Structure 1
Amino acid sequence: MQVVSISSLKGGVGKTSVTTGLASAALAAGIPTLVVDLDPHADASTALGVRPGDQLDIGRMLKAPRRARLADNVVPSGWVERAGEASSRGAAAPVLDVAIGSAYTGIYDRPDLGRRDLRRLSTVLAGAGHYELVLVDCPPSLNGLTRMAWSASDKVALVAEPGLFSVAGTERTMRAIQLFRQEFAPGLSPAGIVANRVRSGSAEHSFRLAEMQSMFGELLLSPHIPEQANWQQIQGAAHSVHHWPGDSAKNAAALFDSLLANLMGTGRTGELVSAGTVRNRSQR
């Protein structure tokens, strides 16, 4: 089982979109996957089409992690029904479960969590052994919830737009991961950086992508994910990108297939390739 945190210290870069895109690729590939919606806004739960019943949300599981029965409280994604054709042909039924997000998790989104609190998610995920992949959608901060996710993870995938503030935030996050590894999680490594919402005709985006390549080297994952006009429509309909009609969605699905393969198959050293300062365009 691989546990991967999807993180960004800057909001609005499409972190949840990347999480759900990777979940869609995992479902299409038949990889038994759990999505942990750790963001108090619970946008991933909405996009994954969950229909909660009496199950505990992830915040309440974190409150009593030793008593939480993960298998009894996860909810199948609504996407699974649309992926059921494979099982009707005799293959194993697809698995994409969700640990539902809620505002209750916000009580842990503090900067002062101790080591015991940081282990809460690890304790909950001790019951997740039948999944091959766990994706943790983190809030856009370096407070307690993100650090709790990092403590439970094997890898951290960072999401960034090719813009000045996002690239600078990514550099700070890389350094935060290194410090966190040294103090709390020596086995943690960066899975890489996902460049999201890339506009192919933008000179600024081209410049920032080149800057990211020089700063982060092989940690900048490929392929990059382009800006997609209908992404809000796909998420609002609670569909996976692999089951949305049209060439645009088909192309995006193929990109997430490749990104998932790179994310799961590549080990990273966790060191910045360059410690160069992010440049303002006026410095060029």
Structure 2
Amino acid sequence: MVLGLASAALARGVPTLVVDIDPQADATLGLDITAEITTNVATVMGASRRNAQKVNVVPSGWASSGGTLDVLPGSHDMAALDRPTGSERTLARLSHAIHQLEGYQLVLIDCPPSLGTITRSGLAASQRALVVSEPALFSVTAADRALHAIDEVRRNIAPTLQPLGVVVNRYRERSPEHRYRLQELSDMFGPLVLGPSIRERSALQQAQGASQPIHRWPGAPAQELAHAFDAHLARVLRANTRGRRPAPAEGGPVRAEASPA
């Protein structure tokens, strides 16, 4: 989901930073980084405030022909930082790091599917939280847990955090099971279930395998996916306009956290 939103933001000319806190670091791989990485998210989040690291971002290869799309790269070392709980100081480290960075209208934080310290840190640094669910039984129950976790973080750490909604990923319209689970999600969460669903298309895997944005991938299926991500990006940007925190004159970033349930 984060790669699709980043592709839409680049196509729209929105200066964007992607923060990859998933220990798998798939977003970092997909964003075609060729520059030397001197700082990754593990070194930033693993340091105490006294020994805080300077945050250095790198450009995505997607922006080589124009636009701003930068990355705070992920690292497999993040797995060692993921615990069931974390202190408020620990959970605030990512937010402090992001506040060092300027010049972005949108900050996208790619989280792991677990709800430990890493994901809660991403939530604490966010203004809006987007839950990504597949149309399957276990994913539906995980989406419910994710929304409860968002509410917990909002009440205890980040009072301005709000759920943006739930997006269904890898959806097949012809599958009775997928249609049933989509209806189940709609019955459970009502207007929090956001359309359009992201259809399962091989074009998405092909674009990601080639480290290319979906907006540049040829073919009608890729265009369909690009339009879906455009719609979700527009919703993210509208949400920032309605619920903006006090910010500098230029308006401050949207921090949208993607949490695949």
TM-score category by the smaller chain?
A: 0.7 to 0.9
Q: 2:83 aligns to what?
A: 110
Tell me how far 1:129 sits from its aligned partner: 2.7
1:29 is displaced (CA, Å) by 0.5
Q: Is the 8 A contact 2:135 2:182 kept in 1?
A: yes
Structure 1 unaligned residues grouped into runs of 5+:
1-17, 85-92, 270-284
Q: Confirm or deny that 1:226 pairs with 2:199.
A: yes
TM-score by length of 1: 0.80
Q: Secondary structure at the residue paired with 2:8?
A: helix
Alignment partner of 1:130 out of 103, 123, 132 = 103
Match of 2:252 in 1: none
Q: Measure the CA separation in 2 of the matches of 1:112 and 1:226.
A: 34
Partner of 2:39: 56
TM-score by length of 2: 0.87
Cα distance, 1:45 vs structure 2: 0.5
Letter of the 1:164 counterpart: L
Selected match of 1:75 from 40, 46, 58: 58
Whichever residue aligns with residue 42 of structure 1, its letter is A
Change (3 A) 1:63 1:188: same
One of 238, 241, 245 as aligned partner of 1:265: 238
Q: 1:156·1:191 contact (CA, 8 Å) conserved in 2?
A: yes
Match of 1:204 among 164, 177, 181: 177
Question: Which region of structure 1 is more displaced relative to structure 2, 223-232 or 24-33?
Answer: 223-232
Letter in 1 for 2:63: V
**1:128 Cα deviation from its structure 2 partner:** 2.2
Given residue 179 of structure 1, which amino acid in structure 2 is its aligned partner?
A: E
Q: Indicate yes or no: 2:159 matched with 1:186.
A: yes
Aligned equivalent of 2:250: none
Q: CA deviation at 1:68?
A: 2.9
Residue from 100, 103, 107 that aligns with 2:73: 100
Question: Counterparts of 1:69 and 1:261 in 2: how far apart (Å)?
Answer: 32
Assess if the C-alpha contact under 8 Å between 1:65 and 1:121 holds in 2: no
Partners of 2:91 and 2:124 within 8 A in 1: yes
Are the aligned partners of 2:31 and 2:62 in contact in 1 as well (CA < 8 Å)?
Answer: yes
State the distance in 2 between where 1:186 and 1:259 align: 23
CA positional deviation for 1:65: 6.5
User: Structure 1 residues 65 and 94 mapped into 2: Cα distance closer, same or farther (>3 Å)?
Assistant: farther
Which residue of the partner structure matches residue 150 of structure 2? 177
Q: Which amino acid in structure 2 is aligned with residue 36 of structure 1? A: V
Amino acid at match of 2:105: E
Instruction: Give me the whole-angstrom Cα distance separating, in 1, the residues matched to 2:154 and 2:239.
Output: 18
- Which amino acid in structure 2 is aligned with residue 43 of structure 1? D
Judge conservation of contact 1:194–1:221 (CA < 8 Å) in 2: yes
1:5 matched to which residue of 2? Answer: none
Q: Aligned to 2:53, what secondary structure does the other structure show?
A: coil
Aligned residues: 240
Q: Return the offset for 1:231.
A: 2.1
Report the CA distance between 1:54 and its aligned residue.
4.4
Relative to its length, the structure with more strand (as a share) is: 2
1:147 match: 120
* 1:52 CA drift (Å): 3.9
* Deviation of the 1:178 alpha carbon: 1.4
Contact 1:76–1:97 (8 Å) recurs in 2 = yes
Contact 1:25 1:253 in 2 (8 A): yes
Distance 1:76 1:151 in 2: 25
CA deviation map 1:212-261 (0-9, x unaligned)? 11211111111111001232221111000011111111111111101111
| Post-superposition offset of 1:191 | 0.9
Question: Which of 28, 51, 74 is residue 11 of structure 2 equivalent to?
Answer: 28
